[in-house]
Amino acid sequence: MNLKFARTEIEQKPKKAELAKIENTLAKEDGVILYFDRDNSHKDLLELQGYFEEKGKSFYMSEVKYGLADNEYMYQVHIVN
């Protein structure tokens, strides 16, 4: 699973998301909202969903458009304990 967080600047490359850091954040809080880059494959995001659902977490994913072009979107993920 090779996931990338959403870009904060258009010209910037997306930063790599580490599963261990996501789990640590989730251990400290009841839930997290994460934004992933459009460069992620849908298959990888479904693997992430399966991983957290196996651990008994609720997982919600949606596509968020931030512009009018077809490629101006990101994935919003909610993971809840």
pLDDT tens for 15-47 read 999 999 999 999 999 999 999 999 999 999 999
pLDDT category of residue 51 using cuts at 50, 70 and 90? very high
- pTM, to two decimals: 0.90
Residue 18 zone, left/alpha/beta (φ > 0; ψ -120 to 50; rest):
beta
Q: What is the pLDDT of residue 10?
A: 81
Provide the 10 A C-beta neighbour count for residue 48: 23
Question: What is the radius of gyration, based on Cα positions, of the chain?
Answer: 13
Contacts of 34 (CB under 8 A, 6+ apart): 5, 17, 22, 76, 77, 79
